[in-house]
Structure 1
Amino acid sequence: MGSGTWSSATYSAVSGAKIRAGATFDYSARATGAHEKLDPKQLNAAGQNIRESRDSDEHPASTPIIVGFDETGSMGGIPRTVLTKLKTLFSLLVDKGYATDPQIAVAAYGDAANGERAPLQISQFESDNRIDENLDLIFLEGMGGGNNGETSNLLLYYAATHVSTDAFDKRGRKGHLIIIGDERQVPLTDEMIRTYVGDGQPLLEDISFEGIARAVTEKWEVWILLIDNAAARMQHSQAFYTDLFGPDHVLVVEDPDTIAETIAALIGYTEGRDADAIADDLTETAGKEVAVRVGRALSRVGDGRGPTALR
């Protein structure tokens, strides 16, 4: 998993054309459920429902990254924003060297407690323009609401129990798991896991908020990109996620249009990229104002130190 190399030119020719034609998320417009490539219950040739990030001769030191976002109604046009800014994200990750051999799985989550058809979708890890294709296959169900929360914890459970990476297994290096959302979590049940992941019984003894958070952070650096909107403020989502992952892993995003730059800068900074170089790159690609907004979002990273060059 993860062969090939992402190309800005291919993105511009294929995904860019779709964006200009208003044809993004074409699958979602005609679908009634998760695409088989993103269905977490689908088994591979070995009879396993797993996602894998593997090293190869082409990518010998893979960096696994999961980008997951809330696709419920409260998020509005955020998923489409992610797609339109994908070129910026990968140009920074790949062309600027923010991450070594990045391999990316795209994911979407909803509300498994609300009777949704596809409250969890996750692709395989890819290194090339199949990432764009996978994002375009996400089913934007757009439901949720009424119970003060969503089930991002279902994605975290899956990452803890059904994702295997050479980065961790061979080198002891955690991957980056990025959650883009606004609402806090609602509790998972055995039935939700059975219905939407396919596990007869949970593979974790403790599926409470805290139990899943402990399990997933053994293998992943979990970053919460919290959209600053009415739902987040009403539910005190920042405090909820801070209790689970710590203040330096919860980033408040003022402007959804800066999500791609925020993700790239976050990964670059935590992977050891110089903060001044990141600031220069963001100013060049998106302008000084975006660089400053990203800097404010990252201000709590590293126990509050953050990349001060961006602020």
Structure 2
Amino acid sequence: MGAGNWGSTAARARTETRAAMPVQTVFTARGVHPSMDPRGILFRESRDSAEHPTTRAVAWFLDVTRSMDRIPHALATRTLPDFADRVLSLFPHAQILFGAVGDGEDGDRAPWQIGQWESSDHLVDQWLTRIFLEGGGGPNGEESYDLALYFLARLARIDCLEKRGLKGYAFLTGDERPRKRVSARVVNQLLGRQELAADIPIEQIIAEAAEKFHLFYLIPDLRRAEDCASAWRGLIGEHAICMESPDDASLVGAELIGLTDGTYSGTLTEMKRRLTDQGVDKKVATRIYRAMLPYAMTIGAAEPTRDVSDVRDLPVARQSGIRRLAAS
């Protein structure tokens, strides 16, 4: 896996063809695709090659419960090419993996779906659109994000870290609280082997994942942030990103990578100006700015005389103690 190259023209043509398609037409799976079934998976790899000598692993794990189909639909019909183009301008040999999570303890048929790290536009898109948007989820306000975290911590093998000491990037999307533990029973059942002897506290698996990836949790809008932001902020600090629209996920993800990597010089205000200069609608650029401001403050990318003063104006659902994920 990982061969080939990203073709921006082909990727944009593909999404333009789908632009008016409803989600059910784009995502046709009615069960977990055999290639994304975790059963039997030992690990997934992002490896260097002659074609891609300095890979950088980027992973998306999409919540596919009933309230969360808008982000995968936006990626498949509009925003994936722009995300990839922006990331590849930072890391020319970036590899992208798509996976999905649901509810592993309340009856979902496909609570854990895992793709492969790929470089070519066709294969990245293939893994995205193979995802089964089950639309399940349980009634207790928690979903199985722990499964995505377990994959990142223990089933991912990435050369950017192993060879060059550079973390990958991982984005989880969702609107619920995480479970308090990785369930050994659920992991063993889904992998089809005796993987774990005991449950793992969520704090431990987050710490392990954060040793390998710059980890972010993207909440689709402020209304849903009221239900889960405080729980996530208690675990990962300002790496829990409260967006104002689910349509912003790909732009937020790309800008977080550039900001964290230090490739984008200057402050968040300059980022907003750059986005508008690139043709991003001013209102969208402002939403991106506001979503990223608490995190930018933790890494010194907010302008003290201007950006930080804007914290006063953030919606109530945003406010929290400014804290960075310790392992990042």
Contact 2:60–2:170 (CA<8 Å) still a contact in 1? yes
Distance 1:274 1:229, change over 3 A: closer
Aligned to 2:144: 151
Aligned pairs for 1:49-60 (under 5 A) are 49-60=42-53
Q: Which runs of 5+ in 1 are unaligned?
A: 44-48
Aligned residues: 298
Give the Cα–Cα distance (whole angstroms) in 2 for the partners of residues 158 and 228 of structure 1. 26
Give the C-alpha shift of residue 210 in structure 1: 0.9
Contact 2:101–2:148 (CA<8 Å) still a contact in 1? yes
Aligned to 1:202: 196
SS at match of 2:45: strand
Contact 2:225–2:242 (CA<8 Å) still a contact in 1? no
Aligned to 1:29: 28
Aligned pairs for 1:246-285 (under 5 A) are 246-247=237-238, 249-275=239-265, 278-283=271-276, 284-285=278-279
SS at match of 1:286: coil
Give the C-alpha shift of residue 281 in structure 1: 4.4
Aligned to 1:46: none
1:238 matched to 2:232? The reply is no
Distance 1:156 1:77, change over 3 A: same
Aligned to 2:102: 110
Equivalent AA in structure 2 for residue 10 of structure 1: A
Aligned to 2:182: 188
Decide which of 99, 111, 123 is 2:91's aligned counterpart: 99
1:123 matched to 2:115? The reply is yes
Give the Cα–Cα distance (whole angstroms) in 1 for the partners of residues 29 and 116 of structure 2. 22
Aligned to 2:324: none
Contact 2:29–2:133 (CA<8 Å) still a contact in 1? no
Deviations 1:20-56 (A, max 9, x none): 4x2766584352x21122222244xxxxx31100112
Equivalent AA in structure 2 for residue 265 of structure 1: E
Contact 2:218–2:241 (CA<8 Å) still a contact in 1? yes
Contact 2:70–2:246 (CA<8 Å) still a contact in 1? no
Give the C-alpha shift of residue 134 in structure 1: 0.9
Decide which of 216, 232, 236 is 2:209's aligned counterpart: 216
SS at match of 2:177: coil
Deviations 1:1-32 (A, max 9, x none): 32222112111333432334x2766584352x
Aligned to 2:13: 13
SS at match of 2:10: helix
Equivalent AA in structure 1 for residue 104 of structure 2: A
Q: Which runs of 5+ in 2 are unaligned?
A: 311-328
Contact 1:150–1:184 (CA<8 Å) still a contact in 2? yes
Contact 1:282–1:290 (CA<8 Å) still a contact in 2? no
Give the C-alpha shift of residue 126 in structure 1: 0.5
Give the Cα–Cα distance (whole angstroms) in 2 for the partners of residues 191 and 138 of structure 1. 24
After alignment, is 281-290 or 154-163 more displaced? 281-290
Aligned to 1:85: 79
Contact 1:295–1:307 (CA<8 Å) still a contact in 2? no
Give the C-alpha shift of residue 230 in structure 1: 4.1
Deviations 1:75-98 (A, max 9, x none): 24222022221121112122xx12
Distance 1:27 1:290, change over 3 A: closer
Decide which of 18, 35, 38 is 2:36's aligned counterpart: 38
Give the Cα–Cα distance (whole angstroms) in 2 for the partners of residues 42 and 307 of structure 1. 45
Give the Cα–Cα distance (whole angstroms) in 2 for the partners of residues 76 and 124 of structure 1. 21
Aligned to 1:289: 283
Give the Cα–Cα distance (whole angstroms) in 1 for the partners of residues 192 and 24 of structure 2. 26
Distance 1:243 1:212, change over 3 A: same
Distance 1:163 1:109, change over 3 A: same
Distance 1:171 1:297, change over 3 A: same
SS at match of 1:216: helix
Contact 1:148–1:183 (CA<8 Å) still a contact in 2? yes
| RMSD of aligned residue pairs (Cα, Å) | 2.3
Give the C-alpha shift of residue 304 in structure 1: 6.3
Decide which of 215, 221, 226 is 1:228's aligned counterpart: 221
Give the Cα–Cα distance (whole angstroms) in 2 for the partners of residues 224 and 270 of structure 1. 15
